Structure 1
Amino acid sequence: MGTDRTMPSPNDRDRPGNAALGRPRLYRGPAQLAGPSADVRRHPRIWCPRTWVERCGDPKLRRIGVARAWRGGQSVVTAGEAGHILAGEAVDRRCRLMSFWRRKRMLRGVVLGVCAFVISCPVEAQQAQPLKPADLPNPYRLVEGWPVLPAAMNDGRWGEVSRVQVGPRGNIWVLHRCFADKPPGSAVCLGAFKDYPPILEFDPAGRLVASLGAGLLAYPHGLAVDRDGNLWVTDVNDAGRVLGMPATNADGVVMGQDVLKLDPAGKVLLTLGKEGVSGSGPDAFDRPSGVAVAANGDVFVSDGHYPNAHHNARIMKFDKNGYFVKSWGKLGSAPGDFDGPHDLCIGGSQQHVYVADRQNKRIQVFDQDGQFIAAWPQFGQVNSVFVGKDDTIYAGTAYPDPAYAGKAQDDPTATRGLIRGIIVGSAKDGTLKAFIPDPTDLRTVVRGSSASGITADDQGNIYAADVGAHSLRKYTLQGHH
């Protein structure tokens, strides 16, 4: 029923057994360092990431078992919490030195010396991330004229586009707001737009293959496609009327606050939550923003689009039949907590859960049981996140514009004071590799985020759904066709 939180707090100073054993206490990690040049040797408590030792590759260290020692412990600090200091290198969750001391009974001075050597090793983990996204390369090319939207659909003009995903057959599925653009940034499939289908399928060439879902959603937001080709969509509507229009379906029931599972033809197979009813328990949502499906069929929902009445900010897990399994997180900024979780995905070689923790301006990483792994603020104020099979991570994001003289912006839908774009990096360690600037002139945008939805295919082509710019984009690597 409640949350399942078994990770120790990063602020737990006194680890079990420290005082009783009379052994040296450990410094909690790089999150407390002022920068890459900080001298950790002056601290009485030190954490040394396993990756530093392995990358240094010193055979003597390996012989005495230093590298092996990291595999037996438990980490608390992540490099994501240290910001740009460690280039996004995630501190392995098995890097605790206490196990080393317990196993090897080595003197404190020896351990400090090892850590000093490791920290002095010239490896990538020590290099700071670029402070500005413009410092990163952009090896991608925008594919003009993709996709082709039939003229019969709103004269071939997009409204707000919320999400995009690649299906198991390689086709691209799009969740949009029925070509509506009002209210700006949160348009609804009501009134004159209610009969348009909010779900469209395109082939890789950009030709429309199918359309479905008319009348099912008021405020389409999240989308996932499972291995069987079934579609999972979320509706964040929380109002009985919007712009004077009733937000009800054909049966007169207020739409929203639910997650629907549809077959590829649009038939509703399963409903999570209660249509039109908000809540904070295990059987209800308050503005479910995103959905992801694991290989075994488990379903994960990011619940608590900002703002919401119940102050929900959590990840909810269900089994393949829709039965509640667990939830984790609450409103807050501590590791494992959220503020406006806007999207999530399951991906990469380790099939971790990646959450776009938008108001907290970071990506958080968990295993599928909700165990906290890392927090990566270097990805900016993230709207969307996707991780490919090759452990490449893509995120639609916004960074503060250093050239902007006005008040700093905390609203990712703001049209001034932000540098918007798509950030590309490594899902293994959080390093940043490329940045694709938003091609839109933000002076033409009334309100709404860029790359609110993001995905990539197996060839590395990137697809982005734009709420504010009313567009759907495709990028290929330079030189690829």
Structure 2
Amino acid sequence: MRYGFGDYVYELVEGWGERRHEWDMSTVPGVAVDANDHVYILSRGKPPVVVMDRKGRLLEQFGNDGFGRAHAAYLDESGTFFCVDDAGHAVYRFDAGRKVDFTLGNKGVPSDTGCVNKDYKTITHGGGPFNYPTDLVIAKDGSIYVSDGYGNARVHKFSAEGKLLFSWGEPGDAPGYFNLPHGITLSPDEKIVYVADRQNCRIQLFDHEGNYLDQWTGLERPAGVVIRDGIMYVAELKRCNVFDGSPSRISILSLDGRLISRLENDLICDPNIGYRAAHGVAVDSEGSIYVAQIGKKHPKDYFALLKYRRV
């Protein structure tokens, strides 16, 4: 089975990824790929982080039991691994020994936004870092941008040393406002910050000072966003009932917002009977797409990371 159209057509790599009976990989919120095409898989089970090569062979596993709830994975240009812990209200950096050596946020303590029970609809005002953060991206100068979404409606920019420089955003659906900023990335020249504004079903564009530039619509709850070789890949949180290896929805866009291709399962979903949905996305040097999935009522031993090879 092939998915997509135009010059971007893909097929599932059946059975990709080593499995072990002691692992719980049924919910995988994040994925990232380094310069060697090593795939970092962030799960909400144990082990928290599994690293494989592009053929799916295990290289290492690490993490700890200190995550409130793992949410997003990120690798900077040096290959340093970062993890967003949404329920922990923190972002962690791991050193070469795979220990946390740097933390952003007041771990375990949410900021004041008026939010009740992690419901973005109850947010009354934007607050400081963090209240259930969602994703991060790091600029070449080391500046760190963090989207702060489930309990907040802001993006925060930090210095490389972790000092908060400024924040922007308030709850709402007007330009420059957010209803669950969920994914974030930078343009190749770093002049544009792209924010997946999930519940507003759009990607908003800002300059590096947080000034609103534009928005792209026509998306279904965009969750994860990454740019590779001048092309944007968007994981959309479209629910899919079948666990047959088809994509839920991945949109491929040019950097002017034009839809180039879309990998999608068109079946109507009933969330009451179990589902999966694309949450994170990464692309390797061969152009293969790795899709991290979350959901409910998965089959036993479901492996929630799919690889699609470009054909």
Scaled by the length of structure 1, the TM-score of the pair is 0.55
Q: Do 1:313 and 1:337's aligned partners in 2 also have CA atoms closer than 8 Å?
A: yes
After superposition, the C-alpha distances for 1:317-343 in whole angstroms (9 at most, x for unaligned) are: 111111101111111111111101111
Is 1:273 matched with 2:109?
Answer: no
Separation (CA, whole Å) in 2 of partners of 1:146 and 1:414: 20
- Matched residue of 1:354: which SS? strand
Q: Quote the offset at 1:227 in angstroms.
A: 1.6
After superposition, the C-alpha distances for 1:418-448 in whole angstroms (9 at most, x for unaligned) are: x941111102x10001111149995698556
Change (3 A) 1:222 1:446: farther
Q: Residue 7 of structure 1 aligns with which residue?
A: none
| Structure (1/2) with the larger helix percentage | 1
Is 1:207 matched with 2:38?
Answer: no
Larger Rg: 1
- Matched residue of 1:379: which SS? coil
Separation (CA, whole Å) in 2 of partners of 1:355 and 1:452: 14
Q: Residue 425 of structure 1 aligns with which residue?
A: 253
Change (3 A) 1:475 1:314: same
Q: Residue 119 of structure 2 aligns with which residue?
A: none
Is 1:476 matched with 2:309?
Answer: yes
- Matched residue of 1:450: which SS? strand
**Which range is displaced more, 366-375 or 345-354?**
345-354
Q: Residue 326 of structure 1 aligns with which residue?
A: 166
| Structure (1/2) with the larger strand percentage | 2
Q: Do 1:201 and 1:211's aligned partners in 2 also have CA atoms closer than 8 Å?
A: yes
Q: Residue 371 of structure 1 aligns with which residue?
A: 211
Q: Residue 300 of structure 1 aligns with which residue?
A: 145
Change (3 A) 1:136 1:380: farther
Is 1:236 matched with 2:64?
Answer: no
What are the equivalent positions in structure 2 for 1:73-92 lying under 5 Å apart? none
Q: Residue 44 of structure 2 aligns with which residue?
A: 177
Separation (CA, whole Å) in 2 of partners of 1:385 and 1:447: 25
- Matched residue of 1:359: which SS? helix
Identity of matched residues, %: 32
Alignment RMSD (CA, Å): 2.7
Q: Do 1:277 and 1:284's aligned partners in 2 also have CA atoms closer than 8 Å?
A: no
Change (3 A) 1:236 1:135: closer
**Given residue 227 of structure 1, which amino acid in structure 2 is its aligned partner?**
E
After superposition, the C-alpha distances for 1:357-381 in whole angstroms (9 at most, x for unaligned) are: 0000001122222122220002332
Segments ≥4 residues shifted beyond 6 Å: none
Is 1:385 matched with 2:241?
Answer: no
**Given residue 309 of structure 2, which amino acid in structure 1 is its aligned partner?**
T
Change (3 A) 1:198 1:445: farther
Q: Quote the offset at 1:200 in angstroms.
A: 1.3
Change (3 A) 1:360 1:448: farther
Separation (CA, whole Å) in 2 of partners of 1:395 and 1:415: 20
**Given residue 90 of structure 2, which amino acid in structure 1 is its aligned partner?**
D
After superposition, the C-alpha distances for 1:78-130 in whole angstroms (9 at most, x for unaligned) are: xxxxxxxxxxxxxxxxxxxxxxxxxxxxxxxxxxxxxxxxxxxxxxxxxxxxx
Q: Do 1:167 and 1:225's aligned partners in 2 also have CA atoms closer than 8 Å?
A: yes
Separation (CA, whole Å) in 1 of partners of 2:33 and 2:273: 29
Gaps of 5+ in 1: 1-133, 179-195, 238-255, 399-411
After superposition, the C-alpha distances for 1:380-415 in whole angstroms (9 at most, x for unaligned) are: 321211111x221111125xxxxxxxxxxxxx5586
Change (3 A) 1:465 1:379: same
Change (3 A) 1:361 1:444: closer
Gaps of 5+ in 2: 113-125
Question: RCO greater where, 1 or 2, for CA within 8 Å and sep 6 or more?
Answer: 2
Separation (CA, whole Å) in 1 of partners of 2:17 and 2:186: 26
- Equivalent of 2:16 in 143, 146, 150: 146
**Given residue 163 of structure 1, which amino acid in structure 2 is its aligned partner?**
G
After superposition, the C-alpha distances for 1:55-85 in whole angstroms (9 at most, x for unaligned) are: xxxxxxxxxxxxxxxxxxxxxxxxxxxxxxx
After superposition, the C-alpha distances for 1:160-201 in whole angstroms (9 at most, x for unaligned) are: 1001111233211111101xxxxxxxxxxxxxxxxx221111
- Equivalent of 2:72 in 217, 222, 227: 222
Separation (CA, whole Å) in 1 of partners of 2:146 and 2:210: 12
What are the equivalent positions in structure 2 for 1:247-266 lying under 5 Å apart? 256-266=88-98
After superposition, the C-alpha distances for 1:211-242 in whole angstroms (9 at most, x for unaligned) are: 111212121002211122221111122xxxxx
Separation (CA, whole Å) in 1 of partners of 2:275 and 2:161: 34
- Equivalent of 1:461 in 288, 297, 302: 288
Separation (CA, whole Å) in 2 of partners of 1:299 and 1:167: 18
